[in-house]
Amino acid sequence: MTRPDPRRRANRAWLLVLPVVVSVAFTAVIPLMTVVNFSVQDVFSPTDRVFVGLDWFYEAVRRPENREAFVRTLLFSAQVLLVEIPLGVAIAVAMPRRGVWVSVALVLVALPLLIPWNVVGTIWQIFARPDIGLGGWTVANLLGVDYNYTLDSTDAWITILVMDVWHWTPLVALLAYAGLRSIPQPYFQAAQIDGASAWATFRHIQLPRLRGVLTIAILLRFMDSFMIYTEPFVVTGGGPGNATTFLSILLSKMAVGQFDVGPAGAFSLIYFLVVQILCYVFFTALTRSGR
């Protein structure tokens, strides 16, 4: 039997890709093109619209609220990484390697990851309340701290940060744990023979070997925290004032709340650009670390 020409077989692959192309065009490309069209116009209705050029883009990059939200979101992402990455690695190092406690530890650590975003928000909204919430009441009454996340912007910020740490550190811990488990035993035996301390073993054997998974963890957590929406929306609604108004909350207020589709279009395209750059860095780092 003669085998079909490989070039023709490669052409047949195009046919199989077609459904994906069509569905992506329908769900992503065409809506995105529409957003681009909206971003250069003041649209009152499909028939009643004015071309405004780059005005909305100037507004998007120059409006103080937008700049503040951008800085706020970057700051939040930086804090998330600074807390979650070391904490996640510490938890992973402390988790048992063998025995029955492995499954117990894994289930306990993974539990917060199984809870949907909006439920996490609802849990923390009640948990952190100083009058009826267990956490808020403890901080306010037992520790004597003047704590109220609905009135004080620092309290609101800390509440959102702690909530994110609670929700997502397990992801870092599980990734780091998987990375630690893949280190061959002879490394540890050699370290033991050399009389290396626990810190030296961690610093020179475990940490270098965690580079790959930590790259994934850092990029995942950065992207995710940079796009955070549901939890702060449920807990603080962006307040008090603008204290927890992150980029996505500001954008949805603009697009859905005030129906300013032009400015919201320009703003979301710039937001999209930032996320796009992060995704590309993510993708490049991942494919390069695999080599």
Partner 1 sequence: MFEWMVWTPPTALVFAGLALLLVVMTVWGHFSPPVARRGFLRIETDRGDRLYIGLIGAAVVLVGWMAVTDLSMWLALGCAVLVVVVIGIWG
Residue ranges in contact with partner 1 by CB under 8 A:
30, 33-34, 36-38, 40-41, 43, 46-47, 49, 51, 54, 57-58, 61-62, 270, 273, 276-277, 280, 284, 288
CB closer to partner 1, 33 vs 75: 33
What would the two tokens of residue 112 be? 């917060």
From residue 72, give the alpha-carbon distance in Å to each of 61, 69, 244: 15, 5, 8
CB closer to partner 1, 15 vs 193: 15
CB closer to partner 1, 93 vs 270: 270
* CB 194, min distance to partner 1, A: 35
152 closest CA partner among 78, 209, 218, 236: 236
What would the two tokens of residue 256 be? 């859905």
* CB 222, min distance to partner 1, A: 17
What residues contact 220, with CB distance under 8 A and at least 6 apart? 171, 282
* CB 46, min distance to partner 1, A: 5
CB closer to partner 1, 27 vs 34: 34
Three-state secondary-structure class, residue 242:
coil
CB closer to partner 1, 41 vs 153: 41
Please say whether the beta carbons of 156 and 149 come within 8 A: yes
Question: How many whole angstroms from its chain centre is CA 280?
Answer: 15
* CB 60, min distance to partner 1, A: 8
* CB 268, min distance to partner 1, A: 13
Quick count: other Cβ atoms within 10 Å of Cβ 6?
A: 8
* CB 50, min distance to partner 1, A: 10
Backbone angles phi, psi at 95, to 5 degrees: -70, 145
Whole-number Å distance between alpha carbons of 3 and 178: 43
Quick count: other Cβ atoms within 10 Å of Cβ 259?
A: 9
255 closest CA partner among 243, 270, 267: 267
* CB 190, min distance to partner 1, A: 33
Whole-number Å distance between alpha carbons of 106 and 165: 17
CB closer to partner 1, 63 vs 209: 63
CB closer to partner 1, 207 vs 275: 275
